[in-house]
Structure 1
Amino acid sequence: MKAKSIRNWYLVHKWSSLICTAFMLLLCITGLPLIFHHEIEHLTGDHPEPVEVAEDAPRITLDGILETAMKRVPGDVPIFMIFDDEEPIVYMRTAASPTEAEDIRSNAYDARTGDHLPAPPFDEGFMWVMFKLHVDLYAGLPGTLFLGIMGLLLVASIVSGVVVYAPFMRKLDFGTVRADRSARVKWLDLHNMVGIVTLAWLFVVGLTGVINTLATPIIKLWQFNEMSALIEPYKGAPPPENLTSIDDALRIAREAAPGTEPSFIAFPGTDFSSPFHYAFFMQGNTPLSSRLVEPVLIDAGTGELTVKAELPWYVTTLLISQPLHFGDYGGLPLKIIWGILDIAGIVILGSGLYLWIGRRRSTLESRLRELEQGADAAVTA
């Protein structure tokens, strides 16, 4: 590779790394507990715990859960009904109105009995702080989009790092750490070795993180394009005054999407539905199909099927990216692997920061020459 080309790639690697390192280090640190959020919440008692119920005990309906939930929050309207993937728990999200959904209240109910399950507020505590720092730095959508830019810089840093260091590292045995050299050289070797080992993971997590930061624009685009077309026949019609049974609507949704169960239900007037519909987001029972939801719109006034919609490719990409980012596909074993790789990412970012802070004053050409000579010396030693 020509010296000028190496110089350009080195500059890309240097400045993309410098700009994003501190923020990526923060994301790796906050992301580590988020990988195990379900397990941590169980250990700390922050997760609702359903009690054992006899097999022949009577079961409550979704309409019954909704009625119980709304009595608990008088003056609110239902926003979402969310179904736990692993336990018989239904979360009811309510707010003063569908358009004031930023001030949401969440309560958990036993899906079998309808009993309220005590749990700390979902927007408080250690895990909430980690979540907010990881998602938007407590700055809302601007913070989320800023982190997306940092993620793009991380991807650029990874690609340029491979281009710059691959020719030099061919002269060293894989995993070589020159322990007889200075502390800076040892840290450089460690930085490069761990970086290569975790290269694919860092690239995937960085890229899926960037996609996740676009969640709000992606959903808005889906609403503007697909959802607007679906509700065109309702244009000018008043919203229904009396809503049909959720259980009856769910039966229709299951018939429209056989072999699926609801992941969540969006009530009329929310961002995920329309003023006229229940939106049932149905999921399969495999690790992949459980993430690729199928929206089924049911007329909330008549209970009739409006349409089973196909998600556009950009929404499907988002839905695949979200669990992949946190290793939430293969249960605890995959989470442990993700956690180990996350720690490796912290080592890479921390060592890169150390190498920058402890850098010597030298020209770019001398640093590149030193790197190549160091590799040559290791081969002849």
Structure 2
Amino acid sequence: MKKMTAQEVASKIIYGELLFILDVRNEEDYAKWRIEGKRVTSVNIPYFDLLDGVEHARDQLPQDERDIVVVCAKEGSSRFVAEQLEEAGLKEVYYLEGGMKTWSETIFPVKIGDLTGGGSIYQFNRIGKGCLSYLIESQGEAVVIDAGRLTDVFEQFALEKGFTIHHVLDTHLHADHISGGRALSEKVGATYYLPPRDAEEVTYSYEPLLEGETIQVGQARIRIQSLYSPGHTIGSTSFIVDDQYLLSGDILFVDSIGRPDLAGKAEDWVRDLRETLYERYSALSSELIVLPAHYSKISEMGDEGRVFAKLGELYQSNAGLQVANQEVFRKMVTDNLPPQPHAYQEVRQTNMGKMTPSAEEQREMEMGPNRCAVHDSSESRRK
């Protein structure tokens, strides 16, 4: 019986290898959230339809030498089905170790580029959730931005590369996943920063991120400049790094824009969102490389799993930046809000420090896709 780890599956997707997924969860769970990739073929045949044998499913499976990975929620059902497929004569059959529970937590770090004064910026792609975190380093010092709950990956990466994490920043108070920013800062002895307008209800100490504040990383004086950019939350703050990169948090994505409703204030915050996108961001250099905190579609992921685009290009291609009329923009945003993220109220409460769920409860709270983006569903609104 062969297994494939979630990290191995992520590597195949990121580097564009062919992969066939047989997902044996129920149809509803599969429709909401599944493993995707540009060269991934996925089929859903529920486990209970395979209990009496797998022969009837063979015509839906590849006849070539592609790897077949059987996937379920936690692992048990996929192991049983993979065993049945092996006994039926299929050779390259694996089960996903840990199931979708483990897939949700898999993080793949990739290098984005070098900095002008020395150093580099790395993107940490939590591919099963669409969450993106960043580590910026220069001369042995590092800062982590929008760290997820699984902080070991940042500690291990810094240890292997010889970096010391001095600062940890969150662009805003997250609602779709549990921030690891405060926990990471405590573990490594770093300073934790949070936008003060998002922190009015938090129960812990933090350093306020104020517009225009500059955080230095290393002796090369790599500047991380704060830019107040409300709209997703009232305190959302972007960062300009080395005059090359714009870390946009959940305000602007490669193929969409941020949603303004996760605190129940969509009608109020949509005005802030428009001002940030159409005034604050438009005044910045079009050559800045936008690095968002999330992505929704696999098409947003480029070579080697990297998610980024130049700001000027997004003003030409991103539908959320093409709406000249304010009322049309408001209607586009409020009419196209996706379902609320799973357990988002509990996630917000946890990120405020008002709840302390167990590790297993936190894992369950985060299950499912990210839902931070608004996608324009109508070409006619681009006017």
Q: Which has the higher contact order (CA 8 A, sep 6+)?
A: 1
Scaled by the length of structure 2, the TM-score of the pair is 0.21
Larger relative helix fraction: 1
Bigger Rg, which one: 1
TM-score by length of 1: 0.21
Whose strand fraction is larger, Structure 1's or Structure 2's? 2
